Structure 1
Amino acid sequence: MPGLPLPQSLNQNIGCEYAYPGSTGQAFRQQLRTALSPDEKLTAEKDLALYCKPVELYNIIQRRAMKNPLFIQRCLLYNIHARRKKRIQITISLSGSTNTELQTHYVFPLYVLLARPTSNLSLEGHSPIYRFSRVCLLTSFSEHGNKDNSEATFIIPDVKSLSTSRACNHDIIFISCGQVGQSNGEDNCSGNHVEDSSLQMLEGKCSWGKIPTNLLASSLESCVNLSLGHIVELASKVTMRPSFLEPKFLEQDSCLTFCSHKVDAVGSYKLQLCMSAQEAGARDMSLSPYSSYSYNDVPPSSLSDIIRLVPSKFKRGRTVQEALVDGRWVRDIRGVLDAQVLTEYLQLWDVLETVSLAPGVSDQHLWTPSTSGQYSSRSAYQRFFIGSIAFELAHRIWKSWAPPKCKFFLWLASLNRCWTADRLARRGLEHPDCCVLCNQEEETIQQLLAGCVFSRQVWFQVLSACNLQHLCPSLGEDNFQVWWQRAEQNVPKQRRKGFNSVVCLVAWWLWKHRNYCVLDEGAADISIVVREISEDATNWRLAGAPRAEG
């Protein structure tokens, strides 16, 4: 692996140009100190340290790479192996079907901690002092809640490490703040309502139990499915004992201990746990910036910092083939490399390490969004809509033969954005008490277009003229979009455009007649609506609208 470029002065005296300032720099800083306030001195020192850290890191890597060219490559392999190192993900939940004797408010809230004892010595009546690293809060059984409040997830070392390292000293601790063993009138420190998951609120009576991780290791060691990447289901019981939680070490050291002298010894119970284990760690390898398998393509935005360090003459005149010969692209990088540039350098090296050009073969431009590899404006336009949500009525509305005002109204109606009585009421505006057309039901845009008695009579008379009276909205059908979709599917394909135009026309005039009754205080009249629809339908046909009649 080629090393990073060094300035000429750095080749002669490594570290002199980019290391921390020497005696001259220190004297100059001493002169500036007298003119700075204490806050300004502190800020200046922090800024200097922030600047010098990546520069010093760069110098260290340069020195070691010059003495041992394989140093950077070996460091890269260490990072890859670290990302591939297996871990075990433990998921813990409580099932209401296996804990039928326990009521929800007796068990929850239940805190689950991954902790280890700071020492094996403990006072009489006290548990060891535990130092915890992660806390999960369960507030319901797995059947009654989502994963956020019914499951606790921890990452522990693999089976081999559990039995050979200090990880075997870890325990999974359960702390229940419910009222098991107590009457409803007794006080409980945390109660059933937890406003903050901080353990600093848990001082007082509780029930607690633990599961040592070495017991999990013995159970998982014989599981073949775990090594194959499958999920292993485990069932375990934990005995919950009444105790008094002393959180005196919580604020400073994240430690806690339990005292059994301050509570009655009666009231122990067992919790039936549902546990699952799965190997984790290798599945996240593709997210690592050191993995060569995660870079099928390099977006230009990810190389912005390193490109700025390449002189313009090399950008304009250097071809890809010339840059790949003997790693010439590395020597084109000039200037001081910070931590971000070093990261991009390693990423780019991973990508180019497997690239080899065939002599005499011309380059080909492949457009990956197209299966043929050829660019097309259609495929480029479709890329703008990746991840977008399709509008189900878009084709029926915008492809129908109708004036734009009718299409725009139907688009608003499908989004429930028309100013009917229900929407006016939500905003505290004056609105009719019920539908002004039928005077029976609460007015909504869906009810107005499909569920209203008045509207169904209009639909029947209009569709009867097209021999489609069997498609009228039925009694109880109060969703206009669902009815339109069902009705269109029952229309012959050659008549669907004409049918959609009729739907646009009728819906438009139902809305206009409703506004006439509300704003002009007119009376609802079916004959007026049908006559207006008939006149507009004649004009639409003369203008080129398709026919819906058979």
Structure 2
Amino acid sequence: MAFKDFGEKRVEQRGPSQPRVPINGLVADACSPTAWSLPSPRSDRAVDLHIFLTSIQCPAYSTDADTYEWTTSTKQDAKFSAQNTWQDMRLSAPVQPVAETIWFKGAIPRNNFNMWIANLNRLPTRARLAGWGLQINKACCLCSAFEETRDHLLLSCAYSMEVWRLSIGRLNPPNSLFRTWAELLSWIRGTSVAAPSLLRKLAVQCIIYHLWKQRNNVLHNHTVLPPTTIFRIVDKEMRNTITARRERKHFINLMVKWMR
């Protein structure tokens, strides 16, 4: 180990100069076979360095090259691991039960993120905005008939239900479409030959994203599209997603199941 790096921690940028060690000197240059070999300190910081050195054992004198290792709570390695360092630095929280339903290989990142926010009920629906004190109309942007909550906007709104009916009619949906978020998650976790769980996850996240996007288009751009147009957008995105991943094991037969 370079003494410059070692000393700078105690005496700032003048680490090697005050103990009079060469700029590229090693820790071995500052010790003898039996003890530390440093001149008398000339500053308070140099005194601090001497005091610190007396509190630790002098390195074994050796002509071998110095080595170092990165130590985290999980392992010791000669190479720096950003993953292990991050795991030590961050505050860990229990894995959420719904995590594997939302985060999976092959998903579209924007749809993943939007689904995660929706699952936490953090989308800024009109009902939530009104709850923050904003003086706004709480009616649903898509149907104008009920209060715009997450479950209504994305599931039970007449507009949304028509998009769901068109989009997942081929995936063995329940007899009555979803009324609550729990029912939606339960259906996603299910699987069948005609509608494997992966296809359900992709479809649901795609539909949720484009319903929320259409809601924002109505609110901010005053652009109203019929449910059939949203279905065509969802259908095109699903085909593109599956085609782009057709070489992956779990995506091989999804196109047939989506288009049947």
TM-score, normalised by the number of residues in structure 2: 0.62
Per-residue CA shift, 1:289-320, capped at 9, x if unaligned? xxxxxxxxx98664235936634544544542
User: 1:372-521, aligned counterparts within 5 Å?
Assistant: 373-375=77-79, 379-385=81-87, 386-388=89-91, 393=99, 396=102, 399-402=105-108, 406-407=111-112, 409-410=114-115, 413=118, 418-425=123-130, 431-437=136-142, 439=144, 441-445=146-150, 447-450=152-155, 452=157, 455=160, 458-459=163-164, 461-467=166-172, 469-470=173-174, 474-475=178-179, 477-478=180-181, 483-484=184-185, 486-491=186-191, 495-518=196-219, 519-520=221-222
1:459–1:472 CA contact under 8 A, matched in 2: no
Counterparts of 1:516 and 1:322, CA distance in 2? 69
Counterparts of 2:49 and 2:177, CA distance in 1? 63
Counterparts of 2:148 and 2:164, CA distance in 1? 18
1:309–1:334 CA contact under 8 A, matched in 2: no
Aligned to 2:71: 368
Shift in CA distance, 442/397, structure 1 to aligned 2, threshold 3 Å: farther
Per-residue CA shift, 1:451-479, capped at 9, x if unaligned? 65654564355333123x2498743x246
Counterparts of 2:242 and 2:9, CA distance in 1? 57
- Structure 1 residues not aligned, in runs of 5+: 1-297
Counterparts of 1:364 and 1:460, CA distance in 2? 64
Shift in CA distance, 532/336, structure 1 to aligned 2, threshold 3 Å: closer
- The answer to whether structure 1 residue 345 and structure 2 residue 47 are counterparts is no
SS at match of 1:351: coil
Per-residue CA shift, 1:176-233, capped at 9, x if unaligned? xxxxxxxxxxxxxxxxxxxxxxxxxxxxxxxxxxxxxxxxxxxxxxxxxxxxxxxxxx
- Structure 2 residues not aligned, in runs of 5+: none
Per-residue CA shift, 1:418-458, capped at 9, x if unaligned? 44213443566564332244555432345423465654564
Counterparts of 1:318 and 1:531, CA distance in 2? 68
Count how many residue pairs are aligned between Structure 1 and Structure 2: 238
Instruction: Report how far residue 506 of structure 1 moved.
Output: 0.7
Aligned to 2:28: 320
SS at match of 1:465: coil
- In the alignment, residue 504 of structure 1 is paired with which amino acid? Q
Q: Which structure features the higher share of strand residues? A: 1
Shift in CA distance, 472/495, structure 1 to aligned 2, threshold 3 Å: farther
1:397–1:410 CA contact under 8 A, matched in 2: no
Per-residue CA shift, 1:243-268, capped at 9, x if unaligned? xxxxxxxxxxxxxxxxxxxxxxxxxx
Per-residue CA shift, 1:110-156, capped at 9, x if unaligned? xxxxxxxxxxxxxxxxxxxxxxxxxxxxxxxxxxxxxxxxxxxxxxx
Question: Between Structure 1 and Structure 2, whose CA radius of gyration is higher?
Answer: 1
- In the alignment, residue 51 of structure 2 is paired with which amino acid? L
- Of all paired residues, the percent bearing the same amino acid is 19
Instruction: Report how far residue 349 of structure 1 moved.
Output: 1.6
1:309–1:335 CA contact under 8 A, matched in 2: no
Q: Which structure features the higher share of helix residues? A: 2
1:509–1:533 CA contact under 8 A, matched in 2: yes
Shift in CA distance, 316/308, structure 1 to aligned 2, threshold 3 Å: closer
- In the alignment, residue 69 of structure 2 is paired with which amino acid? L
- The answer to whether structure 1 residue 534 and structure 2 residue 239 are counterparts is no
**Structure 1 vs Structure 2 CA RMSD:** 4.6
Instruction: Report how far residue 515 of structure 1 moved.
Output: 3.7
Shift in CA distance, 530/395, structure 1 to aligned 2, threshold 3 Å: closer
Counterparts of 2:143 and 2:19, CA distance in 1? 77
Counterparts of 1:326 and 1:515, CA distance in 2? 74
- In the alignment, residue 10 of structure 2 is paired with which amino acid? L
Counterparts of 2:78 and 2:169, CA distance in 1? 52
2:33–2:61 CA contact under 8 A, matched in 1: no
- In the alignment, residue 75 of structure 2 is paired with which amino acid? T
Instruction: Report how far residue 507 of structure 1 moved.
Output: 0.9
Per-residue CA shift, 1:100-119, capped at 9, x if unaligned? xxxxxxxxxxxxxxxxxxxx
Aligned to 2:42: 335
2:154–2:208 CA contact under 8 A, matched in 1: yes
- In the alignment, residue 222 of structure 2 is paired with which amino acid? D
Aligned to 2:15: 307
Counterparts of 2:65 and 2:217, CA distance in 1? 72
